[in-house]
Amino acid sequence: MRNFQQKKRWRSVLESWPVLVFLCLLLLIFAWGVVGLLQRMRLTMENREIAELKIKELERKKEIFTADVAKLNSETGIEESIREKFPVVKEGEGLIIVVEDKNKPEEESVEEKGFFGKLLFWRD
């Protein structure tokens, strides 16, 4: 009988308002922590995606630079690079400069009229 009374006392203590309020507060604190954890997890996933995109971009640039270095290791690549950067020519090569004729008469611009334009302005 005494054992039953002790259990009843514990049950009445656990079911009291202060204990229930404390347990609810404890539950809210844990819930708040889970929400914060989920937000950080989402942010981490976004940062991971950004980092993966940067890695892909850097790998693409690495391939381009590797190709450029391989090109510059050849004689033709060096020559092409020098010709792009500086206005130089080899011995025996000539230079052709194309200049527009300034004395060329201006051509009159002819307006093309569509089907309806021809019908409406057939008198012109």
Total domain count for the chain?
1
pLDDT at 76 > cutoff 70? yes
Domain annotation covers residue 34: yes
Domain annotation covers residue 59: yes
pLDDT at 100 > cutoff 60? yes
pLDDT at 107: 63
19 in Cβ contact with 13 (< 8 Å): yes
pLDDT at 94 > cutoff 80? no
pLDDT at 5 > cutoff 70? no
pLDDT tens per residue, range 7-42? 677 778 778 888 899 999 999 999 999 999 999 999
Domain annotation covers residue 65: yes
For the chain, the average pLDDT equals 83
Domain annotation covers residue 112: no
The model's pTM is: 0.47
Domain that holds residue 41: 2-86
Domain annotation covers residue 70: yes
DSSP 29-76: HHHHHHHHHHHHHHHHHHHHHHHHHHHHHHHHHHHHHHHHHHHHTSHH
Confidence band, pLDDT 50/70/90 cuts, at residue 120: low
Confidence band, pLDDT 50/70/90 cuts, at residue 67: very high
Domain annotation covers residue 21: yes
